[in-house]
Amino acid sequence: MDYLPLLRKDKFPHIWCEGCGDGIALKAILRAIQNIGINQNDIAMVSGIGCSSRTPGYVDFNTLHTTHGRAIAYATGLKLARPELTVIVVTGDGDATAIGGNHLIHAARRNINMTVLVYNNHIYGMTGGQVSPTTPMGDYATTAPYGGMENTFDIAGLTIAAGASFVARSTVYHAKTLERMIEKAIRKNGFSLVEIMSPCPTAYGKINKKGLPKDLILNQKSQAINVDKAREMSPEDLRGRIITGILADRELPEYISTYDKIMSSAQRR
Amino acid sequence: MNPRTYMMQGNIAVAEGAIDAGCRFYAGYPITPSSEIAEQLSRRLPEIGGRFIQMEDEIAAMGAIIGASLAGAKAMTATSGPGFSLKQENIGYASIAEIPVVIVNVMRGGPSTGLPTLPAQGDVMQARWGTHGDHPIITLTPASVRESYDMTIQAFNMAEKYRVPVIVLLDEIIGHVHEKVTLPDVGQLKIINRKKPDTPPEEYLPYIIDESLIPPMANFGDGYRYHVTGLVHDETGFPTNDTLKIEAMLTRLNSKLDKYLDEIIQYEENIIPAAKVGIVTYGSSARSSRHALRMAKEKNIDVSLFRIQTMWPFPTKALRDFGKNLSYIIVPELNLGQIAHEVEHAVGHSVEVLRVNKITGEPIHPEEILNKIEECL
């Protein structure tokens, strides 16, 4: 299928650097939407601040570029006021888990029907490469000149623990798998999150001497390990690996469905 | 008795005013002394098909009402000082993206956690300049329970008409005082809804610059696919670095209310021609002032009164006229003179502006105002 009609082509060229994974992720999102066959008028794409959060500018949906960290909060109001819209949040590791971490865990806890796509590039790219909650310990950043000294967030694990219906992780190297995961996430009635490993050759790759942009993407192939295989491996063997696959897919009460039931009974009283 | 006659507090009047104005979305976070608004709406909104959500924090509540408004709902949040501070960044977003929202701030003593259950009027400047950058904003300050109801309706009407965040600024006394009120029939109310585009989607310019200075607003999901951002944008809604487009957009944004000042600015005046002393006041301090005026009258002292109803935009021109025949203006307020500065600016050097201030969490006693009046004689 031709996904170009879903793009605002006059807004290109995009702002992403050569070798950035965000363009591959965008294509996977558009194909997932086409696979489901959702009308463009019925999609609201909401983002915060950062490289990934510029995505809504390039897609021909109802698009909302909010403040730093708050995309999920805005999306919650939007979805509640107009539940028939398919709400997709595009965000990054800093936007979603540092400044916006509270909104992420509470939206997951409510299990409100929306899809959050977190592009994890281990760094604050747009502001020039500062350390993020997912920068691996010991890796360098402009604000970690001696190497990162903090433990990192497992974004997918955090979201599962908080109560989301559907959580998956993939990489931009595995573009086709990523597309299928995003499709499943959007179809799920509940809070769904896909953690998309999207390398940043400019801000993260260069300072950490990770090689050429293509090397960062090819590394994902060797780093990725399917969750079923990972279960049989020791923590030592999993060090430096990316556990991919569907990590949670479960039936839990969805917030708006529950609200609507309570609203009906309140109106009958 | 009229079935719409109640004994109620200001906070409940705000909640009922919101419902009668058409509010169908509320997001909030618990905070004293505003929580009764959330409690009332958590019960009332589901009954009428509306949405109530208690968010994880104040910032989220502000974000949620912007999202809901963009989807077409009339949306409100309520808070007090600490929460009002937290909401400021997103109030700026509503201002630049021109999303109609109503924010209620029931003021308590500050700064920081301050005096949670005691009255203050210390947020009047924050209501105007709390968010960064030049921006339009409207603030209304009720002085009674009935006025809390009326002004909440006006706040929604103004938000919808001018596409601007509107702040309803109560103080703890107005929020919690119980008064007998008879609410008007809902059918009799003047309700304004946002202007929608009459152009087809492919021709829609979401931030068009026309004579009205207020662009028509399409709701998300109505078939007008457009982009909304907190970045400075051009008429298409997309960010721009073109200085001419930036200037055009920011000029329209910051002058759009000027065109409608006559209908936005409301105040109450009681001018005694012989008076050399006037009082300029608002909110609960207006109630102390009225009492002081009665005490002055018993002593045959003439005093004029100007009660600010629309705090922002500030009634500068009306106050200039009010001050023309006066020698002294007394400004009683529960802060250290935030509005007295504005009054001085409005009336110029020919009138001496005197202050009656209190920040200890007590209301201003009428005697304190009367003493100040007598100092002027």
Among partner residues A11, A61, A74, which is closest to B66 by beta-carbon distance?
A: A74
Among partner residues B64, B220, B228, which is closest to A82 by beta-carbon distance?
A: B220
pLDDT at B3: 84
At the topology level, CATH places domain A18-268 in Rossmann fold (3.40.50)
Report CB contact under 8 Å: B225, A62: yes
Report CB contact under 8 Å: B227, A56: yes
Report how far residue A91's alpha carbon sits from residue B275's, in angstroms, rounded to the nearest whole number.
62
- Mean pLDDT, to the nearest integer, of B187-199? 97
Report CB contact under 8 Å: B66, A60: no
- Mean pLDDT, to the nearest integer, of B140-147? 98
pLDDT at A268: 87
- Non-local (6+) Cβ contacts of B105 within 8 A are B34, B78, B79, B80, B81, B84, B123, B127, B167, B168, B169, B170
State how far the alpha carbon of A181 is from the alpha carbons of A5, A173, A226, A248, in Å: 22, 14, 13, 12
Pick the CATH number of B5-188 from 3.40.109.10, 3.40.50.2300, 3.40.50.1100, 3.40.50.970: 3.40.50.970
The reply to whether B268-375 shares the fold of B5-188 is yes
Report CB contact under 8 Å: A77, B221: no
Report CB contact under 8 Å: A80, B57: no
**Helical packing angle, B338-347 and B316-323, nearest 10°:** 70
Q: Sketch the domain layout of chain B as residue ranges.
A: 5-188, 268-375
Interface test with B, best of A11, A45, A60, A70 (most B CBs within 10 A): A70
Sheet holding A62-65, edge to edge: A224-226, A242-249, A166-171, A191-197, A114-120, A86-92, A43-47, A62-65, B227-229
Rounded to 5°, the CA angle A73-A78-A83 comes to 125
Report CB contact under 8 Å: A73, B55: yes
Q: How confident is the model at residue B376 (pLDDT cuts 50, 70, 90)?
A: very high
Which strand (E) or helix (H) includes residue A28? helix A22-36
Q: How confident is the model at residue B227 (pLDDT cuts 50, 70, 90)?
A: very high
Among partner residues A70, A75, A85, which is closest to B221 by beta-carbon distance?
A: A85
Q: Decide if pLDDT at B9 tops 90.
A: yes
Pick the CATH number of B268-375 from 3.40.462.10, 3.30.2130.10, 3.40.50.920, 3.40.50.620: 3.40.50.920
- Non-local (6+) Cβ contacts of B84 within 8 A are B103, B105, B123, B126, B127, B130
pLDDT at B2: 80
Report CB contact under 8 Å: A103, B73: no
State the DSSP string of B95-109.
HHHT--EEEEEEEEE
Give the residue on A whose Cα is nearest the Cα of B230: A66
B-chain CB neighbours of A57 within 8 Å are 227, 229, 238-239
B-chain CB neighbours of A41 within 8 Å are 221-223, 225
CA distance B346 to chain A (A): 36
B-chain CB neighbours of A60 within 8 Å are 225
CA distance A105 to chain B (A): 9
Report CB contact under 8 Å: A57, B59: no
pLDDT at B209: 97
Report CB contact under 8 Å: B46, A42: no
Helices (H) and strands (E) in chain B, counts: 13, 16
Q: Decide if pLDDT at B1 tops 80.
A: no
Report how far residue A63's alpha carbon sits from residue B229's, in angstroms, rounded to the nearest whole number.
9
Report how far residue B344's alpha carbon sits from residue B125's, in angstroms, rounded to the nearest whole number.
15
Report how far residue A104's alpha carbon sits from residue A155's, in angstroms, rounded to the nearest whole number.
10
pLDDT at A1: 72
ipTM: 0.98
B-chain CB neighbours of A99 within 8 Å are none
pLDDT at A261: 97
Q: Of B23, B18, B77, nearest to B49 (Cα)?
A: B23
Among partner residues B90, B221, B238, which is closest to A70 by beta-carbon distance?
A: B90
Interface test with B, best of A46, A63, A255 (most B CBs within 10 A): A63
Instruction: Show the low-confidence residues of chain A (pLDDT under 70).
Output: none
Among partner residues A42, A62, A77, which is closest to B64 by beta-carbon distance?
A: A77
Residue A58 carries which side chain, given as an amino acid letter?
Answer: Y
- Mean pLDDT, to the nearest integer, of B129-141? 98
- Non-local (6+) Cβ contacts of A144 within 8 A are A130, A131, A135
- Mean pLDDT, to the nearest integer, of B157-184? 98
pLDDT at B194: 98
Beta bridge partners of A248: A167
Each residue of B304-360: pLDDT tens digit?
999 999 999 999 999 999 999 999 999 999 999 999 999 999 999 999 999 999 999
Round the average pLDDT of chain B to a whole number and report it: 97
3-state secondary structure (DSSP) of residue B233: strand
Size of interface A-B (CB pairs under 8 A): 138
Report how far residue B162's alpha carbon sits from residue B313's, in angstroms, rounded to the nearest whole number.
13
Q: Decide if pLDDT at B232 tops 80.
A: yes
